[in-house]
Structure 1
């Protein structure tokens, strides 16, 4: 058996600097020594067990002393912690210790401008800014991580570029730019490399993509991805990703009118959410389960589920989630013909939507409010709610939602304002042609003609 030695990050860095000083590429070095370029890359990145004769050959070629390379670095009498290990532990601390502690540790690290770990460093800065809701700074540092990796092709195997695009997609989603979120997550998938580094992100990307598609009402495409994810469920890295998948599947089954299947998936997700105390996912899943029972006509069960969801509203991290719960409860009261409670509850949903600037959920709450007024034949008030919802849909290019809203707006003014009616019908017609030509809408949409239609949203997973 060949003798092996462990090359630390600092030792690998010495070799990399010596090679670059001699202006030799990794490929040229590998060709000269009859070894693979990937081996050179792994040695230079460090934290790698390498055959001793390969290390000796590289050092001889670069005129380095092997003993000097293998000499342990000391700092204040103690071993210096490997930079790669430090960054790994900071990523761990972000999730399990706290963002503040992780930020303090990250600031202690000083890297050279051409250090191969700088891409990871920028990515972690972006992630911390995202967690602290400084979205502008988060975008800046995710972008820095991507640009840095672009300078060094040997870093592509780290998947830093992929996770940075995933972070960018989450920020765009939070800013209500769903088309841009979808574009970013697709770019992340394009640059994904099958490797040991962050291999889990492949399925997180697919989950996020399906979430964005569902929010854009591109339900058939979203459903196809969830089927693929279900087949690879064990490869989803976290239990939260699994509960996200259950939530998304239930939402889509509700849209397709398959309520028993939706209930099955909520129960699957609620078990995981309860065991891991995932308050946000639990509220979402109870809300979706309430929607399923409402659409089945089992109103007592629906009310029980929605009230259970609201018990969690003071424990969730993402307060806009409760908008969906209030909206569903308002629609339930509407179907029970308790119009006063319906309007009061829907007003709470709209108010929370306006306070949190969650435009997708606010738009749905406004549509539901319009439905309530339409049910009472208060056409002017219904028209006002639908117009506010239409403004959001047009601002953010939510074309599928715009299609639904125009149909409802036409219904509010067919008798009283025929000119406006014809205007909405024409807009509806032009948008339909646009969507059909783009392949985003089928010719039959009977399931979308229900005025009480609403969808709930899962949240994209954090890497």
Structure 2
């Protein structure tokens, strides 16, 4: 008996057994064990043929009935697939509770081809509700089920991707990057949901940017840029433009960054993608601030703010407040700068955005240090350092220890030396034992 035939018989037997409400234990006897029945149902090729015929007879089935049973099962699969597609659309339309209610009523065995997809969709629903831990448990379950069954739709890669998103929103950036890399490792080029690969790459670039690893992010972007015409999701395309412009700014390539920001703005405007328009106008403002073109920078920030009412969340406002503060400092508008920076800190706190909170606090410390009010700067640096330590942001720690050493240099010799020692230790942790031999100039 060929393995393909055994698989079909096994699927038919499982379908009939489940329709009768029987467990494996209910069917097993002295002649056939639960393990053998399970192997037959899963189409394991090395099962003794006599056991297959015995099980068919015990279930009251003949070989002639198998095709019609399989056809009925195929129709049931198509119906379930259609319903799951509709539920996924409901989740995308932010009706997570309604979707969860439907998903909870779908009772599938772990070996069912759609079991992993159900868990994945549950995770997506909980994710939209900001219930990160429940979402993570569902994605973990989906990944486990994909390892047990054939995964032709890249549900495993998608689950790793969304698990990374959950970590990102909980400020666990290293874990977010780790899960994203796992998703890329298991992605099947010949499988379904081909967009998932580009979502994973998009997220990887964002996480690298947040972790301060600009050159690594640019390398990923360079690899993906020639494949942009394959990306159907406009948000993914625009995020690549946004992140590329921001990473180029961080490496001092302002003119090239401006070019990408403007190209992205054109696409965002055509596609009426207001969130990305807001982000790109903000980045363009940061670029003109860096080039000391104050009026252009201010115009960019004000243009971005006109889209404020169109944003799903005000989380993104932190950047614009901080940069308006930086712009005001550059023009010696100290009171305006202080007000903007305070708004940036408050906004980052409100939205539990640890990387942006560290940045806003650091800039506020710089604001006071710039005025030679180093004693005023210290509490902001120390508070930022506390958050950086909590989430293991070593690059941020290193920068903050350096600033604290500047503040303590003429005031507290002991604290000055301790800050330098801490800066040295975090630098060693960042290098993680790497040799200096090939370090560039």
The correspondence for 2:284, drawn from 265, 276, 289, is 289
1:426 and 2:424 aligned: no
Q: 1:68 to 1:366 in 2, by over 3 A?
A: closer
Q: Which residue of 2 aligns with 1:141?
A: 138
Q: Which residue of 1 aligns with 2:23?
A: none
Q: Provide TM-score, normalisation by structure 2.
A: 0.83
Q: Which residue of 2 aligns with 1:250?
A: 245
* RCO comparison, higher one (Cα < 8 Å, 6+): 1
Q: Which residue of 2 aligns with 1:14?
A: 12
The correspondence for 1:175, drawn from 166, 170, 176, is 170
- The answer as to whether partners of 2:152 and 2:192 remain within 8 angstroms in 1 is yes
Q: 1:256 to 1:12 in 2, by over 3 A?
A: farther
Partner of 2:284: helix, strand, or coil?
helix
| Offset, 1:202 | 1.4
- The answer as to whether partners of 1:320 and 1:361 remain within 8 angstroms in 2 is no
Q: 1:294 to 1:22 in 2, by over 3 A?
A: closer
Write the distance in 2 (CA, Å) between the matches of 1:72 and 1:407.
66
| Offset, 1:279 | 2.7
| Offset, 1:440 | 11
| Offset, 1:208 | 1.1
Q: Which residue of 1 aligns with 2:26?
A: none
| Offset, 1:62 | 5.8
Q: Which residue of 2 aligns with 1:87?
A: 84
Aligned length: 403
Q: Which residue of 2 aligns with 1:70?
A: 71
Q: Which residue of 1 aligns with 2:303?
A: 308
Q: Which residue of 2 aligns with 1:211?
A: 206
Write the distance in 1 (CA, Å) between the matches of 2:377 and 2:220.
36
Write the distance in 2 (CA, Å) between the matches of 1:444 and 1:365.
31
Q: Which residue of 1 aligns with 2:348?
A: 353
Q: Which residue of 2 aligns with 1:28?
A: 45
Partner of 1:116: helix, strand, or coil?
coil
Q: 1:69 to 1:99 in 2, by over 3 A?
A: same
Q: 1:292 to 1:438 in 2, by over 3 A?
A: farther
Partner of 2:307: helix, strand, or coil?
coil
Write the distance in 2 (CA, Å) between the matches of 1:334 and 1:440.
40
More helix by share: 2
1:116-195 map, 5 Å: 116-152=113-149, 155-195=150-190
Q: Provide TM-score, normalisation by structure 1.
A: 0.80
Write the distance in 2 (CA, Å) between the matches of 1:374 and 1:444.
31
Partner of 2:152: helix, strand, or coil?
helix
1:319 and 2:298 aligned: no
Q: Which residue of 1 aligns with 2:262?
A: 267
| Offset, 1:124 | 0.3
Q: What CA RMSD, in Å, does the superposition of the two structures yield over aligned residues? A: 3.0
Structure 1 unpaired stretches of 5+: 1-9, 33-59, 446-463
The correspondence for 1:381, drawn from 376, 383, 392, is 376
